[in-house]
Chain A
Amino acid sequence: MVSIFIVDDDENLHQVYRSFFTMKGFSVVGSAFDGAEAVELFITLNPKPDILLMDFRMPIKDGVTATKEIRGIDPASKIIFLSADETAREQALAAGALSFLVKPVKFVHLLQAIDTLLTKH
């Protein structure tokens, strides 16, 4: 079962992502509302999640910084950036994100991105 870790400061999105992934048979193994919480939780997770969905603009620590730190902890971690701010694309990819999708993202595209990461990386 594919395990997902959700990082976004929007609670409503946590709920819809969780519902969708559960419906699709994925396992949501953790969620965080800011980058700092994401890094703290990521350290404790064992095994590590297959996929991390990462927002950009969040309080305390943004998604780019959190991505760098998480990739520092586990260079094999697969992070998909989901942001309404397209200008973050270069920074996110430079920080180690493997994919960047601009919100609003259709689930079909999100599933494609997940599938690509799991099969190619």
Chain B
Amino acid sequence: MEAADVLIIGLDARGRVTLFNQKSEEVTGYSRDEVLGKSVFTLLIPTEERKEARQRFKKLLVGEKPKFAPLTSWMTKSGVQRFIRWKTALFTDTDGQIREIYSLGIDITKQREAEEKLRKNEERFRVLAENAQDVIYLYSIMPERKFEYVSPAVTRVTGYTPEEFYDDPDLVVKIVYPEDLPILQGALQDPASFTGPSEIRWIRKDGDVIWTEQQSSVVPDAQGNLIAVQGVVRDITERKQVIDEMERARNLAEFLVDLMAHDLNNINQGIMSAMEILQHDSSFPEPLQGRLNDALSQVERSANLIDNVKRFQRVDIEPVTLRRIDVYPPLQSAIEAVERNFPAKSILITNNIHERQYYVTADQFLSELFFNILHNAAKYDRSERVTIDVRADLTSDERFLRVNIMDHGPGISDEEKARIFSRMTSRKTGVKGSGMGLTLVGQILHRYGGNIVVADRVDGDYTQGASFVILLPKGEV
């Protein structure tokens, strides 16, 4: 009895302790001497439970055994509550009077605490599920197909109540948008293959079509058999509408740019050709030739602007897929293009980069980036012999390739430096003459996560030319 792993307590008919084993001592912290002869109610049972415990004890004394093993709590000597599940035996006198009551108890405090934790967790998840904006569901596959749980958000999303889903397991199939029915049928036939997010349209109770995003997972039983599917359904109708609107706006913008660029360049062709005829016409007054040339260069400027708008749009709409690129070929192709563009000037572009020396993370627009900076440098350098130096090295942390493009042009004042890339955000303060080239550069670098700064080629004297320092993320192998 002493070595037993259960609490054993004996009480006389007045509830005084007559037996108190070692386990009881361990659990309560009281020694047998401290307990024997004392009332179990006043010593061990918490005040708020005493009344009920006494009533149960009285019933025992008249032979009324409880249907279930009663659970009582005991207060330990140190004031900690322990939960004990009791099994009781009655010992009577020969005349049938109850003499003593013996009870065996199991300390189930830990089990109670675990149960309480679980209950609180379940409560928390239930509150979450009940209040979630997304629909949370559990759909059983075995032994029969039906909804075990659908959160109340289903009413907001579909117009149908959870009860309607419980009552009709096929409702989910009935309200799916016909075109998306194969997706849902596939999911019901082979739920294991339907775990990734998928978009399905439903027809609401009021007839509106909504877009939903489904994310589900399968629930196996202990043997690994698939018995249910659980998941979350999110109403993404608004998101879809915004994406559609954006797509429409983008298509319209693309169409308008294309239309404008095409028609303006046809108009430019007419103006340019007419002016060229005048240039070749011997009867055209010589003193006005200068004006004619100016007008022609304005037409060329207009054509360049249109070209840049188209390039800008291309950079904007092209999906970003960066890769490791040898920086030499795009730089070389930009250098050659700039040399071709100024047949009237002598262009000398030096660089210290050779093939397969530096790799960056970029895409097909890298050459466009170099071209725009080199082209600007050549364009604004009024001398007939244009020299541009390109120097590249890695930054000290080796995360970026630094490409420094230095020209000998008129330079950029500090005031202009501050706003040179800001044309897109503030057209009114745009740097005169920079066109869209540098904005395009900024846009391309934004794709790469790179950066650009403008400095003076000779520190402190901007009139000696500009230095464009480009930082390109290094290409990882």
Task: Decide whether A and B are members of one complex.
Answer: yes
Q: State how many angstroms separate the Cβ of B314 from the closest Cβ of chain A.
A: 10
Find out whether the CB atom of B262 lies under 8 angstroms from the CB atom of A12. Answer: no
Please, how many angstroms separate the alpha-carbon atoms of A86 and B280 in the complex?
Answer: 28
Is A16 within 8 A of B273, CB to CB?
Answer: yes
Is B109 interfacial (CB-CB < 8 Å)?
A: no
A48 within 8 A of partner (CB): no
Inter-subunit contact A104/B274 (CB<8 Å): no
Q: Is the CB of A17 within 8 A of B273?
A: yes
Q: Is the CB of B261 within 8 A of A20?
A: no
User: B230-238, B264-272, B421-429: which one contacts chain A?
Assistant: B264-272
- Nearest CB of chain B from residue A106's CB, rounded to whole Å: 7
Across the interface, name the chain B residue whose C-beta is closest to A10.
Answer: B266
B276 touches A84 (CB 8 A): no
Contact A13–B277 (Cβ < 8 Å): no
B: contact size bracket: 20 to 34
A16/B277 in contact, CB under 8 A: yes
* B277 with A103: CB separation less than 8 A: no
Q: Is the CB of B262 within 8 A of A104?
A: no
CB of B273 within 8 A of CB of A84, answer: no
Say yes or no: A16 contacts B280, CB within 8 Å: no
Bound form: Cα–Cα A17–B273 in Å: 7
A86 and B310 CA atoms in complex are apart in Å by 10
**Bound state CA distance, A9 and B239, in angstroms?**
43
Decide yes or no whether B469 CB sits under 8 A from chain A: no
Does residue B13 face the partner (Cβ distance < 8 Å to A)?
A: no
Task: Judge whether B262 and A106 touch: CB under 8 Å.
Answer: no
Within residues 63 to 86 of chain A, which ones have a CB less than 8 A from any CB in chain B?
Answer: 82, 84-86
Which residue of A is nearest B265, CB measured? A84
**In the complex, what distance in Å separates the CA atom of A48 from the CA atom of B273?**
26
Q: Is the interface of B mostly helix, strand, loop or mixed?
A: helix
Q: Does any Cβ of B come within 8 Å of A91's Cβ?
A: no
Inter-subunit contact A103/B276 (CB<8 Å): no
Residue A23, interface by CB 8 Å: yes
* Among candidates B263, B268, B277, B281, residue contacting A104 with C-beta atoms closer than 8 Å: B268
Q: By CB atoms of chain A within 10 A, which of B261, B271, B273, B299 has the most?
A: B273
> What mask results when residues 84 to 121 of chain A are scored 1 for a CB within 8 Å of chain B, else 0?
11100000000000000011111100000000000000
Complex Cα spacing A20 to B273, Å: 8
CB neighbours (8 Å) of A86 from chain B are 310
Of residues 226 to 268 in B, which have CB atoms within 8 Å of A's CB atoms? 258, 261-266, 268
Residue A57 is within 8 A (CB to CB) of chain B in the complex: yes
A104-B299, A104-B303 as given contacts; A84 in contact with B269, CB under 8 Å: yes
Residue of A nearest to B268 (CB): A104
Q: Which of B268, B277, B303 has the most CB of A within 10 A?
A: B277
Could you tell me if A13 and B270 are in contact, using CB atoms closer than 8 angstroms?
yes
Q: Which of A30-81 contact B (CB under 8 A)?
A: 57
Q: Please pick, from B266, B274, B277, B280, the residue contacting A84 in the complex, using a CB distance under 8 A.
A: B266
CB distance from B318 to the nearest CB of A (A): 13
Quick one: closest B residue to A19, CB to CB? B277
Contact A16 B261 (CB under 8 A): no
CA distance A109 to B198 in the complex (A): 55
* Residues from chain B with Cβ under 8 Å of A85 in the complex: 258, 262
Having A13-B266, A16-B273, A84-B264, one finds 17 other A-B pairs with CB under 8 Å, namely A10-B266, A10-B269, A13-B273, A19-B277, A84-B265, A84-B269, A85-B258, A103-B265, A103-B266, A103-B268, A103-B269, A104-B269, A104-B300, A105-B269, A106-B276, A107-B273, A107-B280
28 pairs, CB–CB < 8 Å, chain A vs chain B: A10-B266, A10-B269, A12-B270, A13-B266, A13-B270, A16-B274, A19-B277, A20-B280, A23-B277, A23-B280, A57-B262, A82-B269, A84-B262, A84-B264, A84-B265, A84-B269, A85-B258, A86-B310, A103-B268, A103-B269, A104-B265, A104-B269, A104-B271, A104-B272, A105-B272, A106-B272, A106-B276, A107-B276
The 10 closest A-B pairs by CB, nearest first: A84-B265, A16-B273, A104-B268, A104-B269, A103-B269, A12-B270, A84-B262, A104-B272, A103-B265, A107-B276
* A interface residue numbers (CB < 8 A to B): 10, 12-13, 16-17, 19-20, 23, 57, 82, 84-86, 102-107
